[in-house]
């Protein structure tokens, strides 16, 4: 069976949600403008490193959603996001703090690690390159709010960065945050992940994989206000038996490739 960080983090957030998504095939509809814009922006960044016109790539990619019925966050619109994106790309080029030696090999890098019981873990690293001349694993993020920089050391607890460090064995990691706000801003944040953190993360992955394979899918509903994870969970309609919520948020894809491993589990 092959695991990914998305799978493991979904299981850790709520095992029942994992079961809905990966066993029953209930996937969230891809209608969130911010998510789709993030993907288009990453393609524009790739174009920049290939020496192509990144703004034109952004308009071409994001242009495919111009008339789509997307869910925009408060204050967002197709035009506003396009202009913020171009502004951020210009800022990124002007800063010139990231270098990627070979964009063909060092962008969207697939890395695999083997786990016990013939399992694998697969991850896609956004980029391997240099930030201010330090070689590191790089994660791109597009968001509407700044990444918190206080208290000091917080970034070293970011699970995605720990995962990247564990899967590559590299201690230096960075996140480049493209903040879409009134005046767009880019944060270049760097941290080191310790060997102990990598080992602990490896143990967490192995323990989670064995719970999944043992078929443990109890719900973690998190019902105490205000930390109610159910409110933002795309599977809320299934837990509440609310058909209109299911119809608005989810699409069912039985036979999706995610389900292939079930044969092994059941066999």
Contact between 230 and ligand SF4 by CB under 6 A: the answer reads yes
Which residue of the chain is nearest ligand SF4 when measured via CB? 233
Contact between 219 and ligand SF4 by CB under 6 A: the answer reads yes
Contact between 25 and ligand SF4 by CB under 6 A: the answer reads no
Contact between 170 and ligand SF4 by CB under 6 A: the answer reads no
Q: In this structure, what are the phi and psi dihedrals at residue 143, rounded to the nearest 5 degrees?
A: -155, 170
How far apart are the C-alpha atoms of 140 and 239, rounded to whole Å?
A: 33
**Position among 107, 128, 176, 236 found at the interface with ligand SF4 (CB under 6 A):** 236
Q: Which stretch binds ligand SF4 (CB under 6 A): 51-59, 158-166, 227-235, 256-264?
A: 227-235
Contact between 246 and ligand SF4 by CB under 6 A: the answer reads no
CB-neighbour burial class of residue 143 (10 A; exposed 0-12, middle 13-18, buried 19+): middle
Total residues at interface with ligand SF4 (CB under 6 A): 12
Q: In this structure, what are the phi and psi dihedrals at residue 35, rounded to the nearest 5 degrees?
A: -65, -45
- The one-character DSSP state at 30 is S
Residues 6+ apart with CB under 8 A from 47: 53, 54, 56, 57
Contact between 191 and ligand SF4 by CB under 6 A: the answer reads no
Contact between 193 and ligand SF4 by CB under 6 A: the answer reads no
Q: Which is nearer to ligand SF4, 198 or 235 (CB)?
A: 235
Quick check: 98 and 129 in contact, CB under 8 A?
Answer: yes
Residue 63: half-sphere exposure toward Cβ, Cα within 13 Å: 8
Q: Which stretch binds ligand SF4 (CB under 6 A): 11-19, 167-175, 186-194, 208-216?
A: 11-19
Contact between 202 and ligand SF4 by CB under 6 A: the answer reads no
**Position among 3, 8, 11, 14 found at the interface with ligand SF4 (CB under 6 A):** 14
CA angle 182, 188, 192 (to 5 degrees): 145
In the complex, least distance from residue 250 CB atom to ligand SF4, rounded to whole angstroms: 11
Q: Which is nearer to ligand SF4, 15 or 123 (CB)?
A: 15
Q: Tokens in use for 257?
A: 């490739």
Q: Which is nearer to ligand SF4, 105 or 252 (CB)?
A: 252
CB atoms within 10 A of CB 253: 13
- The one-character DSSP state at 230 is T
Contact between 239 and ligand SF4 by CB under 6 A: the answer reads yes
Three-state DSSP class for residue 195:
helix
Which residue, 8, 4, 24, is CA-closest to 235?
24
Q: Which is nearer to ligand SF4, 76 or 258 (CB)?
A: 258
Quick check: 81 and 180 in contact, CB under 8 A?
Answer: yes
Contact between 17 and ligand SF4 by CB under 6 A: the answer reads yes
Q: Which stretch binds ligand SF4 (CB under 6 A): 12-20, 30-38, 170-178, 195-203?
A: 12-20
Contact between 221 and ligand SF4 by CB under 6 A: the answer reads yes
Q: Which is nearer to ligand SF4, 5 or 16 (CB)?
A: 16
H or E segment to which residue 130 belongs: strand 119-131
- Positions in the binding site for ligand SF4 (CB under 6 A): 14, 16-17, 219-221, 229-230, 233, 235-236, 239
């Amino acid at each position: 069976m092959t695991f990914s960080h998305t799978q493991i983090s979904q299981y850790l957030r709520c095992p029942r949600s994992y079961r809905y998504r990966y066993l029953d095939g209930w996937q969230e509809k891809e209608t969130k403008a911010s998510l789709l814009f993030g993907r288009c922006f990453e393609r524009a960044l790739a174009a920049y490193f290939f020496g192509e016109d990144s703004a034109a790539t952004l308009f071409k990619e994001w242009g495919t959603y111009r008339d789509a019925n997307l869910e925009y966050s408060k204050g967002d619109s197709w035009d506003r996001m396009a202009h913020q994106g171009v502004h951020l790309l210009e800022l990124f080029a002007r800063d010139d703090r990231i270098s990627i030696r070979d964009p063909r090999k060092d962008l969207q890098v697939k890395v695999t690690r083997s786990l016990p019981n013939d399992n694998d873990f697969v991850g896609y690293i956004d980029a391997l390159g240099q930030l201010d001349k330090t070689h590191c694993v790089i994660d791109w993020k597009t968001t509407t709010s700044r990444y918190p920089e206080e208290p000091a050391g917080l970034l070293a607890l970011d699970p995605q960065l720990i995962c990247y460090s564990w899967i590559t064995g590299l201690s230096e990691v960075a996140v480049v945050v493209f903040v879409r706000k009134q005046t767009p801003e880019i944060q270049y944040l760097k941290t080191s992940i310790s060997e102990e953190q990598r080992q602990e993360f490896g143990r967490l992955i192995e323990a989670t994989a064995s719970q999944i394979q043992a078929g443990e899918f109890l719900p973690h509903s998190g019902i105490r206000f205000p930390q109610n994870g159910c409110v933002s969970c795309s599977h809320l309609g299934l837990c509440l038996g609310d058909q209109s919520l299911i119809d608005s948020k989810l699409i069912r894809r039985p036979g999706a490739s995610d389900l292939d491993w079930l044969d092994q589990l059941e066999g």
